[in-house]
Amino acid sequence: MEKAEDRLSDAREYYEKSLEIRLKLAEETKTAEARRDLIVSYNKLGIISDAEERLGDAREYFEKALCIAVALVNETETVESRRDLLAGYAALGVIAKKEERLDDACEYFDKALEISAALADETETVESRRDLSLCYGNLGDIAEAEGRLDDARGYYEKSLQIDQKLAEEAKTAEPRRNLMLSYFRLGNIAEGAADKRKYFEKAIEIADETDAEESRRRWVSGYVLLGDMAEAEGRLADARKYYEKAHEIFAALAEETKTVESLRNLAVSYDRLGDIAKAEDRFDDAHEYYERSFEISAALAEETNSVKSLRGLAIGYERSGEMAQAEGQLGEAREYYEKSLEIRLVIAEKTETSEALHDLSIIYLNLGDIAKAEERFDDAQEYYEKVLNIEIELGGETNASESRRLLSAAFSKVGDIEKARGRLSEAREYYEGALDMFAALADDTKTVESYDDLALSYYKLSTVDYPEVDRDCLLSALEIWEVLVTACPDVSEFRERRDMAKRILGQ
């Protein structure tokens, strides 16, 4: 496998040599052209640093490019100099977004929008209108990341309107790819399943019209998103179908390009297929998929040692731990989770991002479950309290619904510990707190997963004094599971839980 890291290093070396020459020319000639060449060099080095995940270096290069662009605009305000300024603000916005400095990103993108809107109004060129669409898309991404979905939808719809006109006028690949991206973005934030499916299918339809590599990536994203929807709705057969179509494309791209990105995507694709196989109780298939994913992730981590590759390796250990746990091999599961924790701690120290802390919560929750199953209750409670501390500290900074779910789950699991210790009054308090949180989450998200969590919470509260049973609570759980069994006939767990509730109720 040719190392992408080596290719990036070679490119950086060439651009650094080019920069040395251009710095000398700019110093000697002091012309606007020579200084604009410096902008190009700094931007190239910023792009390389971004690809190498050296965001601080990328930011410095883009800031140097922006400083020159500001000076050139102040001297001679041309269309070209204003576009350089626009590009500088947009590039810094992208880096700020990756660094989770969303306020700064929004400020940069707002400045870029102001320039692009003026240029589009003045020139009405394809280039200026495309830039305007990109600015709306970037601002939509920030609004989406901040949970301002109505604002995000507004930005995405403005971007879509421009992309539709450009695609109709030009009938070339680039505007149609941008149109495809707009459909994907709107699909991601659509509230209803029907609307999501409509947008994703439109995007796939466009991608199907071209064999370009970028379009195939977008196309495969459509299948993945449709698969994610089907899986969330409990339609496992449909999810498998979409993921298998996506996997064919990921495998072909990995074979053709052999880049780190394509191999990482292939590993994630194996994980998705493994998740479906596990949900369908096809454990041998799940093992095989996870092993293939792990082989790729381990090789990438050894080759690049990047945060993304390390994260992929951590996920591989977690998947192996989940399989061992499902098969009752608690010691083996613990070992896998502890290996994942080591990597997660390194990532959290390296990046200091809310996403990395959130990932730590997940692995602490898993380790808590193992400790609870092994009746190491003090250890289990310590792990669960770490989850509580992290998610309370984050306060919904990342993936709010998942953060709320982890917080609710940790409350519920501490209740399990208290029940196992015989402290039923304390257990009931934790279960009641978890029930309130799960009910609010189900009301907000209306996902299959959230309803199942709510039913389990009712069940735990109903049986805290078992063999005495709170029939009203248990009937609430049964009612939810009856609906889930009808809506998701492929998911055996819902039938098993429904039947368990019926047996306890004597039905």
Give the per-residue pLDDT at 364. Answer: 97
| Strand residues in 8-166 grouped as ranges (E) | none
Q: Is pLDDT of 320 > 70? A: yes
Q: Is pLDDT of 295 > 50? A: yes
Q: How far is 440 from 464, CA to CA, in rounded Å?
A: 22
Sign of CA dihedral 326, 411, 354, 351: negative
Mean pLDDT over 107-118 rounds to 96
| Range from 15-29, 54-68, 188-202, 429-443 carrying the lowest mean pLDDT | 188-202
For residue 218 the two structure tokens come to: 């977008």
180 exposure class (CB count in 10 Å sphere: 0-12, 13-18, 19+): buried
348 within domain boundaries:
no
242 within domain boundaries:
yes
469 within domain boundaries:
yes
Q: Quote the distance between the C-alpha of residue 258 and its chain's center.
A: 23
Give the per-residue pLDDT at 34. Answer: 93
In the chain, what is the greatest distance between 2 CA atoms, to the nearest angstrom? 92
Give SS3 for 72.
helix
Tell me the CATH number at 318. Answer: 1.25.40.10
Half-sphere exposure of 255 (CA within 13 A, CB side): 6
415 within domain boundaries:
no
More confident residue, 290 or 190: 290
235 within domain boundaries:
yes
Q: Which domain holds residue 476?
A: 447-507
* 203 band by pLDDT with thresholds 50, 70 and 90: confident
11 within domain boundaries:
no
505 within domain boundaries:
yes
| Range from 375-384, 388-397, 491-500 carrying the lowest mean pLDDT | 388-397
Q: What one-letter code names the amino acid at 98?
A: K
Q: Is pLDDT of 316 > 90? A: yes
Q: Is pLDDT of 2 > 60? A: no
Pick from 123-127, 233-237, 456-460 the range whose average pLDDT is largest: 456-460
Q: Is pLDDT of 285 > 70? A: yes
* 1 band by pLDDT with thresholds 50, 70 and 90: very low
Q: Which of 274, 306, 327 is the last residue of a domain?
A: 327
**Which three-class secondary structure string do you get for 139-184?**
HHHHHHHCCCHHHHHHHHHHHHHHHHHHHHHHCCHHHHHHHHHHHH
Which residues are within 8 A (CB) of 10 and not within 5 positions of it... i.e. 6 or more apart?
none
Give the per-residue pLDDT at 5. Answer: 58
| pLDDT tens column, 141-180 | 999 988 899 999 999 999 999 999 998 887 677 888 888 8
Give the per-residue pLDDT at 211. Answer: 52
Mean pLDDT over 372-381 rounds to 95
* 206 band by pLDDT with thresholds 50, 70 and 90: confident
Count of structural domains, the chain: 2
Model pTM score: 0.66
What letters, b where the CB count within 10 A reaches 16 and e where it falls short, cover 478-488? bebbeebbeeb
Q: Is pLDDT of 398 > 60? A: no
* 325 band by pLDDT with thresholds 50, 70 and 90: very high
Q: Quote the distance between the C-alpha of residue 244 and its chain's center.
A: 20
Q: What is the mean pLDDT of the chain?
A: 90
Give the per-residue pLDDT at 215. Answer: 55
The phi and psi torsions of 2 (rounded to 5 degrees) equal -70, 135
371 within domain boundaries:
no
Q: Which of 327, 356, 391 is the last residue of a domain?
A: 327
Give the per-residue pLDDT at 375. Answer: 94
Q: Which of 259, 294, 327 is the last residue of a domain?
A: 327
For residue 426 the two structure tokens come to: 């304390």
Q: How far is 431 from 417, CA to CA, in rounded Å?
A: 11
